[in-house]
Amino acid sequence: MPYTIAEKILLAHADKKSIGPGDFIEAKIDVALGNDITAPIAIEEFRKTGIKKVFNNKMIVLVPDHFAPAKDLKSANQCKILADFAGEQGIKNYFEVGCMGIEHALLPEMGLVMPGDLVIGADSHTCTYGAMGAYATGVGSTDLARSFVDGKCWFKVPASLKFIYKGKLDKWVGGKDLILFTIGQIGVDGALYKAMEFSGPVISKLGMDDRFSMSNMAIEAGARAGLIEPDETTKEYIRVHKPQAARRKPKFYYSDQGASYEKTYEWDISGLEPQVACPHLPSNCKPVSKLHDIAIDQVVIGSCTNGRITDLRIAAKILKGKRVKTGLRLIIFPATQRIYLQAVKEGLAEIFVKAGGVFSTPTCGPCLGGHMGILTEGERCLATTNRNFIGRMGHSKSEVYLSNPAVAAASAVTGRITHPEKV
């Protein structure tokens, strides 16, 4: 029976001879991830079981990144719960402030996720790792607690949707634009409980950072996972970001010819402009040229979607020798400490600060309305983050627009949503 890449990975981790869309399965987990918002609940539920030791302390990864560095007493307590549990259980993959990063950039960088893995995370953007050819999906904190007990989780096998991208990307257009365009075409429920499979000649030419951006936002179309078949680009990424000692070897899965897809989409994206998602949904997308009259108060560049080194290089290329519009706040969040240091080494941090921006330690910060960039009533932000729901970044009467780093940097200079070519 021919299978999709998603089905192959799930089958390889389940005690089944065959599976199909709609089947409920129990499967062994390779990685179980929690952060400072979701892991404390999982830890509490785990303690209720009366079990003293987690099933596998090497499988668990804990990253305080949402409200860290702690913004108040409540968030400090949340982070302490993670630190105490990690110490008690001997969890080595606990990343304290100073060695942490935004979780979905940190795990691949540290070699903690491999192609062919089955990954759960108590965070919806866990689907990011699908860019490596892993099946990665968000779960609830109680599901995470269960994995602490026996290293397993239940899944409903999703149907798969195939997306084929042809043509040639224009300058300043990348993975963020492709996924925004896609969500704009199919809607925020267009892949509801499906596995999205991104393919075609355009995808094969994308670097890993662009691929991570695409898989990261699969959840914004309602998907359980967003996968890209591994290729030489994937293998080179693994060679650079070597797996930690004694961890799994990568397993490369590919969809079979004749595999069943619920629907296939095929687009020629030649001439596609940079895309901007307008309030209050990621699907409310428009070409950047249609939005030149939109004035903004704040620009945020970073997050688990676009806080990687290539994103910062793009932003710096535009900001070099320029100044941020007077009265506008520019906040830049590198996704990990390694990316932070690389940005300093390359002189990117100096460019950002001289342009009038703030170069911050890695944190999710304002993306979820946490801290370090909250919007008040009536304010408007352009961000390289992944969501722009009502109240996402602060006040319910603020507005968030989403774009790629090039558009964000150009707009910081002009004070209005701007095509990078204009600056």
The DSSP secondary structure of 3-26, one letter per residue, reads --HHHHHHHHHBS-S---TT-EEE
User: Using one digit for the tens of pLDDT, what is the confidence trace for 157-187?
Assistant: 999 999 999 999 999 999 999 999 999 999 9
Q: Residue 293: its pLDDT value, please?
A: 86
3-state secondary structure of 318: helix
Residue 168 and residue 270: Cα distance in Å, rounded? 5
What mean pLDDT, rounded, does the chain reach?
96
At 91 the pLDDT is: 96
Residue 418 near residue 337 (C-beta atoms within 8 A): no
Residue 301 host element (H or E): strand 298-302
**H or E stretch at 166:** strand 159-166
**Helix (H) / strand (E) containing 101:** none
Whether residue 245 is predicted with pLDDT greater than 50 in this model: the reply is no
CB atoms within 10 A of CB 256: 14
Q: Confidence class of residue 247 from pLDDT cuts 50, 70 and 90?
A: low
What distance lies between CA 273 and its chain's CA centroid? 22
Mean pLDDT on 349-377: 94
Can you tell me the distance from the alpha carbon of 307 to that of 333, in angstroms, rounded to the nearest whole number? Answer: 6
Q: What percent of the chain has pLDDT over 70?
A: 99
pLDDT in tens, 312-340: 999 999 999 999 999 999 999 999 999 99
* Domains defined for the chain, CATH in brackets: 5-17+24-265 (3.30.499.10), 275-422 (3.30.499.10)
Evaluate if residue 127 carries a pLDDT over 80: yes
The whole-angstrom separation of Cα 157 and Cα 13 is 12
pLDDT digits (tens, 9 = 90+) for 30-71: 999 999 999 999 999 999 999 999 999 999 999 999 998 999
Q: What percent of the chain is modeled with pLDDT above 90?
A: 92
> For residue 416, with 0-12 CB atoms within 10 Å meaning exposed, 13-18 middle and 19 or more buried, which class applies?
middle
Mean predicted confidence (pLDDT) in 394-413: 97
| Long-range Cβ contacts of 350-354 (<8 Å, 24+ apart) | 351/316, 351/319, 351/320, 352/315, 352/316, 352/319
Q: Is the pLDDT of residue 243 over 80?
A: no
Six-digit token pair at 412? 């910081």
Q: What is the pLDDT of residue 244?
A: 58
Residue 253 and residue 169: Cα distance in Å, rounded?
27
Whole-prediction pTM: 0.96
Give the model confidence (pLDDT) of 194-228 as tens digits: 999 999 999 999 999 999 999 999 999 999 999 99
Lookup: tokens for 263: 């629907």
Is residue 381 scored above 50 in pLDDT?
A: yes
Provide the pLDDT confidence category of residue 382 given band limits of 50, 70 and 90: very high
